[in-house]
């Protein structure tokens, strides 16, 4: 179905289903997509923010050119300060939505894969805290497993509202869920 409708991945439907429920793209102009390859989410967001919006996609792998005027892509590691500077140059101020569909290279050893995925999700959380506006949305993929509860607690400490979602487009046997968070909590100032 994704190919028939011109999307690069079926993950596009996961994002569409979550947005239908939470409407995180309503009024959004600036969106950051971390782990954006192959570009299916970029296509969905491009449609949602329209010509006046801007979507920045970052991935370690190059993203094949999308003929979309409101999409910019960056090849690199989100933890690299130069990449963060490049993102800040493209996006004017705080962003409305931070998306992360990051997944590690699957090794087949579940505990290792789950730990690596939670590590990526933790990185995405830090990026969201640095770039997201206070009432913005953070949508992140998480693998269920031994590290899940601790990560969920971290997200709840950072955001006032957190929902756990398994989109219909996710495979039934998949251990992935998405956290849809909103309203960054104020950071306490150092004394």
The domain that holds 164 is classified in CATH as 3.40.50.150
This prediction's pTM: 0.91
Does residue 17 fall inside a structural domain?
yes
Does residue 1 fall inside a structural domain?
no
Does residue 191 fall inside a structural domain?
no
Note down the domain range covering 121: 11-184
Residues 44, 99 contacting (CB under 8 angstroms):
no
Does residue 6 fall inside a structural domain?
no
Does residue 20 fall inside a structural domain?
yes
Structure-block tokens of residue 29: 């102009």
d(CA 177, CA 191): 38
Does residue 45 fall inside a structural domain?
yes
Any catalytic annotation for residue 3?
no
With a cut of 50, say whether residue 97 has pLDDT above it: yes
Q: Number of structural domains, the chain? A: 1
Does residue 147 fall inside a structural domain?
yes
Residue of 141, 153, 161, 166 marked active site: 141
Phi first, then psi: what are they for 95, rounded to 5°?
Answer: -100, 160
Task: Encode pLDDT of 40-89 as tens digits.
Answer: 899 999 999 999 999 999 999 999 989 899 999 999 998 899 999 999 99
């Amino acid at each position: 179905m994704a190919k028939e409708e011109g999307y690069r991945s079926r993950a596009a439907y996961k994002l569409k289903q979550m947005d239908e429920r939470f409407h995180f793209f309503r009024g959004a102009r600036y969106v950051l997509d971390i782990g954006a390859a192959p570009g299916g989410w970029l296509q969905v967001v491009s449609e949602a923010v329209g010509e006046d919006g801007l979507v920045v996609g970052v991935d370690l792998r190059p993203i094949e050119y999308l003929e979309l005027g409101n999409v910019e892509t960056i090849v690199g590691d989100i933890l690299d300060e130069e990449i963060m500077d490049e993102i800040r140059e493209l996006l004017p101020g705080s962003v409305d939505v931070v998306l992360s569909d990051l997944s590690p290279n699957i090794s087949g050893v579940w505990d290792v894969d789950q730990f690596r995925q939670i590590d990526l999700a933790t990185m995405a959380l830090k990026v969201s805290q640095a770039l997201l506006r206070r009432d913005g949305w953070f949508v992140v993929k998480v693998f269920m497993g031994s590290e899940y509860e601790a990560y969920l607690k971290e997200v709840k400490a950072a955001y006032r509202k957190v929902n756990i979602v398994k989109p219909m487009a996710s495979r039934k046997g998949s251990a992935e869920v998405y956290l849809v968070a909103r309203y960054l909590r104020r950071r306490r100032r150092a004394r």
